Amino acid sequence: MQKSMFKALITALCVSALTVHATEEEASEPDSVECLAFKADPDADLGDVLRAGCQPTLTQMSALMDNPVGNVAMLFTQYDSYLIRNDATGDEEVQGNLMGILQFPKGISKNWNLINRIVVNIPSVPLDQDDLDDLGSDMGGTIPGHINPGPTPSLVNLAGGRTTGFGDMYYVGLFAPKDAISYDGGGKGVWGVGFDVGLPTATEDVLGTGKWSAGPSALYAYLGSKWKVGGLLQHYRDFAGDSDRDDVNTTNLQYLLYYSLNETTSIGAAPNIIIDWEQDGIDRFTVPVGIGINKTINFGKVPIRFGIEAMYSVVRPNDIPGSRWNFRFYFIPAVPSALFGWMK
C-alpha cells in the first residue's frame, strides 16, 4: 500500500504540474514585445515572466533547475544500482534504491526562503529478512543520506534472497537568501543552512535504521556560465528509536561538479561521500568519483531533466561490505514556484 501511495503521489504531482503549466501557456502571448524581451534575458525573473502572461524558455528553466535553492518546485525520481563487494570474502551482490525527492521553496520573509526536501526511499537489498530473523541477527539498515542510501552493513551472502520495500524517510530544510551572491568575474554563488531529520518508516528492519535521527545541513554552489561546483553537507545522529539497533552517526557530503556543453546539456556527476563514524579506520569512508550526462527537454508543457551517471568508489571499507560501483538514472520534472501562490 505504501508503494502504491508513493506512485500515486508522483503521478498526481506530475499531472498537476502539467495541467497548471499548460493552462499558463495557453493564456500567454509569446509574440508580444514584452514576452520577446523576457525570452532574450536568460536571467529574467520568472515570476515577472508569468505575471506578464508569458512563458519561461527551456533555457531559463534549465538554469533555474541548476540552482539547488532556486524558486522552483522539482520532483526528483532517481534509481541507484550499487555493486556491493565484501573484500574480506570476495563476495559481490547488487543493491538497488528507488528514491523520490519532492523539493519546493517556501517564502518566510522578504529576503529568505525555506527550501524543503521530502525524501522517500524504496530499497532492494540482497538479504532475506526472514533468514536474518532465523539467525537472530539485528543487522541491517541503510545509511541515512539525502541522495545516496549506503550499502547494508551486513555480510554479503550471510543470508540469501532479497528484501524490497519501503525504507526510511528524511526531511531536509535549508534557510537560503532569495538573492544570490554576484561575483565580479561572472557567475553567482548560492547557499543555505538548516537541518535534517530521519524517520524510521522502513517496513523491514533490513531496509532501515530503526532510529530517529537529526543533524545540521549546509549547502553552497557556484553557478557559472559553464561550471557548476558545490556541495551539500549533512550529518545524522540518532536520538531515539530501537535501542537494540546500531547507533547512527553518519556524515553525507554530496559534491557536485558539472560542465555545460550547451544551455540544456551538461556533463559531470554528484556523488555522495559517506562517513560512518561508528566504524573504525578506513571502514568509515566511502569516497566515489563519477561522470555522466544530463539534458533538459520539454515533455509536453513541462521541462524535465534526464540524466545518467556512473561512479566508482576510490576509497571504500575493507572489513565490511562497501559500494564499489554505482550506476544512477534520474528524471526531474520542474515548474516555477511562481505558479503556486502558497510557495511565495
Domains and CATH numbers, the chain: 2-343 (2.40.160.40)
pLDDT at 234: 95
pLDDT at 1: 44
Do residues 211 and 248 make contact, with C-beta atoms less than 8 angstroms apart?
Answer: yes
Which runs of consecutive H residues, i.e. helices, occur in 74-205?
129-135
Record the pTM.
Answer: 0.83
pLDDT at 136: 56
pLDDT at 341: 73
Which ranges of the chain have pLDDT less than 50? 1-6, 8-10, 12-13, 15-30, 138-156, 158-159
Phi, psi of 200 (to 5 degrees): -80, 75
C-alpha dihedral, 248 to 200 to 233 to 227, nearest 10°: 140
Strand partners, 79: 98, 329
Cα–Cα dist 71/115, whole Å: 9
Do residues 234 and 217 make contact, with C-beta atoms less than 8 angstroms apart?
Answer: yes
pLDDT at 146: 33
pLDDT at 140: 47
Question: Cell for 67?
Answer: 540552482
* CA end-to-end distance (rounded Å), the chain: 33
Cα–Cα dist 344/327, whole Å: 36
